[in-house]
Amino acid sequence: MTLPSSVTTGQRLNLTPEVTLTNTSTRTFTGTAEVQLLVSTTGTSDDGVVVASSSPDANLEPGQSLTLKFRISALPAGLAAGDYYLVAQVSTDAAGKSTTASPSTMQVNVLTADLKAQFSPAPTMASLRKKGVSVNVTNVGTLATTGPTTVSLTISDNADGSNSVEVARLAKNTRLKPRKSTRFVFRNLRIPHDRPYYLTATVTTPTDPNPTNDPISQLLS
């Protein structure tokens, strides 16, 4: 069969592959054939993830074939992004296992949420006392986020964030579709004025797989 050039996990598909079982021996085969369809990055069943299966009872004379039709409506949500073959594996008690892979691959894309923080506007030591700090949180990913979202503010006298101290934290339930934003406003912050500090905002949510990519820092002067 011809595979689509690209698919996305979690989205509806309409793949209708067919698998033909042929008795290539000189004896009649009677029994159950365990047939699995897998997606695999190597074209083998070793790293494959099962996406469809069937266990037909067959009675095949030498040279006789049986064609099975499958329907794949979606790929597993936990599948990693990459290029995948479609692999058919047939297992019988008499003949053991046999596998064959599609001649081409399909690119699998993964929907993910990715929240990014941005100061709006950039804070200064003077603006902290008057207006506080506003942090915009934007979903720059491809999957909507739902649930608690937390923004933490820390200060440090080093650009690398070492020896940082948390000065404020806000949390609220959010639902952010891709490219949508929400604002967190911090007021009455108590930050020492004895030296310049780096103010860092970090956003976390259970649906963002890479929260360490989200901090943003600003030198307060």
- How would DSSP label each residue in 117-180? EEESS---HHHHHHH-EEEEEEE-SSS-EEEEEEEEEEEESSTT-TT-EEEEEEEEEEEE-TT-
pLDDT over 90 (residue 67):
yes
pLDDT over 80 (residue 208):
no
Between residues 145 and 211, the one the model is more confident about: 145
| pLDDT value at residue 206 | 82
> Tokens 């006298």 identify what position?
157
pLDDT tens per residue across span 108-155:
988 888 899 999 999 998 888 888 999 999 999 888 888 899 999 999
CA distance linking residue 14 with residue 72, whole number of Å: 6
1 pLDDT band, cuts 50/70/90, is low
Domains in the chain, ordered, with CATH? 6-109 (2.60.40.3880), 115-220 (2.60.40.10)
Of the candidates 118, 115, 89, which has an alpha carbon nearest to the alpha carbon of residue 102?
Answer: 89
212 pLDDT band, cuts 50/70/90, is low
